[in-house]
């Protein structure tokens, strides 16, 4: 499978971000999300608000069919039970066979050696995108050269934090959007990973897709935080913000380093 990586001349503008958002809305890609039990409903609703279509089965006997017919596959390791351990390799193999983008979110690999080992076997498939935080990055790649080798093979890394970093063979992006209240709601990051998968489904340049997807989700989070009274009302406000996000919103708030 040939991967498209960001050209060094590519720049992130509000028009570019909004253009990809509109492409998601027009094409309505179906994202098959193998995610953790806590995140399933929120992730599905996030994809629907964005304009994408979710499917969520983790049953090993049918997951390959779902992954092969989806427009992108998201694998989130938040709940790594026996069923998901069996289903995930089957889903990745099916997505690869049909040249669907594969996005991996190795949640909590820094907490569990067995989970970290399982994640490393998945990375051997050279996924299109890996979304992770700094602690997870360091657990998977104690030597930076290993991360660089994965990037050189065509995988894009989206390292999230106070500053989000997109690293690829081509252009790297530094993004500064988001709001602290987003961290007070469980599974917000997991739902954000699904947004990245949706953008990867419609854009061959995976680094650009990740940069635009993170910007859209985090700007929606900022708008939601302004309207919300606290964590309890953030979720509905975030879904509404994603659904109604406009070019004007992105122009007013997009921040890059």
Per residue in 165-193, pLDDT (tens digit) is: 999 998 899 999 999 999 999 999 999 99
Please give the residue range of the domain that contains residue 128. 14-253
Per residue in 10-24, pLDDT (tens digit) is: 579 999 999 999 999
Q: Is 7 or 171 the better-scoring residue by pLDDT?
A: 171
Q: How many domains does the chain have?
A: 1
**What's the pLDDT score for residue 9?**
38
Rounded to an integer, the average pLDDT of 118-145 is 96
Rounded to an integer, the average pLDDT of 97-114 is 97
In a domain, 224, yes or no: yes
In a domain, 140, yes or no: yes
Per residue in 218-238, pLDDT (tens digit) is: 999 999 999 999 999 999 999
Kind plus residue range of the DSSP H or E element containing 156 = strand 156-160
CATH number at residue 143: 3.40.1190.20
Q: DSSP 3-state assignment of 174?
A: strand
Place of tokens 């049918």: 62
In degrees rounded to 5, what are phi and psi of residue 3? Answer: -100, 145
State how far Cα 254 lies from the chain centre.
18
In a domain, 147, yes or no: yes
How would residue 3 be classed by pLDDT, with cut points 50, 70 and 90? very low
Q: Is 236 or 6 the better-scoring residue by pLDDT?
A: 236
In a domain, 1, yes or no: no
CA distances from 84 to 47, 162, 223 (A): 21, 30, 34
How much of the chain is helix, strand and coil, in % rounded to 5? Answer: 55, 15, 30
CA distances from 153 to 10, 104, 157, 174, 243 (A): 20, 15, 12, 21, 35
The count of other CB atoms within 10 Å of the CB of residue 185 is 19
Rounded to an integer, the average pLDDT of 104-124 is 97
In a domain, 197, yes or no: yes
In a domain, 7, yes or no: no
**Residues linked to residue 33 through DSSP beta bridges, in sequence order:** 74
Question: Any alpha helices (H) in 167-230, and if so which ranges?
Answer: 188-202, 206-227
Instruction: Cite the beta strand spans of the chain per DSSP E.
Output: 30-34, 53-55, 72-76, 102-105, 129-133, 156-160, 164-167, 173-175
Place of tokens 């090993």: 60
Q: DSSP 3-state assignment of 31?
A: strand
**What's the pLDDT score for residue 61?**
98
Per residue in 49-95, pLDDT (tens digit) is: 999 999 999 999 999 999 999 999 999 999 999 999 999 999 999 99
Written as six digits, the tokens of 8 are: 């060094």
| 65 Cβ neighbours under 8 A, 6+ residues apart | 94
- Of the candidates 197, 20, 208, the residue with the CA atom closest to the CA atom of residue 103: 197
Exposed / middle / buried, residue 80 (Cβ in 10 Å: 0-12, 13-18, 19+): buried
CA atoms of 138 and 195, how far apart (whole Å)? 24
**What's the pLDDT score for residue 10?**
55
Say if residue 99's pLDDT is above 60: yes
Q: Is 6 or 46 the better-scoring residue by pLDDT?
A: 46
In a domain, 3, yes or no: no
In a domain, 18, yes or no: yes
């Amino acid at each position: 499978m040939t991967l498209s990586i960001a050209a060094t001349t590519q720049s992130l503008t509000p028009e570019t971000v909004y253009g990809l958002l509109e492409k998601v809305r027009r094409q309505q890609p179906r994202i098959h999300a193998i995610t953790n039990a806590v995140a399933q409903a929120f992730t599905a609703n996030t994809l629907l608000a964005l304009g994408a279509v979710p499917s969520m089965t983790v049953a090993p006997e049918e997951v390959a069919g779902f992954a092969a017919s989806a427009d992108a596959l998201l694998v989130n390791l938040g709940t790594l039970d026996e069923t998901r351990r069996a289903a995930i390799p089957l889903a990745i193999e099916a997505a690869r066979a049909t040249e669907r983008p594969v996005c991996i979110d190795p949640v909590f690999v820094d907490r569990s050696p067995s989970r970290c080992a399982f994640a490393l076997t998945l990375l051997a498939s050279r996924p299109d995108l890996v979304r992770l935080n700094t602690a997870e990055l360091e657990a998977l790649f104690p030597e930076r050269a290993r991360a660089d080798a994965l990037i050189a093979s065509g995988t894009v890394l989206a390292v999230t934090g106070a500053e989000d970093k997109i690293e690829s063979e081509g252009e790297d992006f530094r993004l500064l959007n988001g709001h602290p209240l987003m961290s007070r709601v469980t599974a917000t990051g997991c739902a954000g990973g699904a947004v990245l998968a949706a953008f990867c489904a419609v854009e061959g340049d995976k680094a650009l897709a990740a940069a635009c997807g993170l910007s859209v989700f985090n700007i929606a989070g900022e708008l939601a935080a302004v309207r919300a009274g606290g964590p309890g009302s953030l979720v509905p406000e975030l879904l509404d913000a994603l659904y109604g996000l406009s070019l004007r919103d992105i122009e007013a708030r997009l921040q890059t380093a």
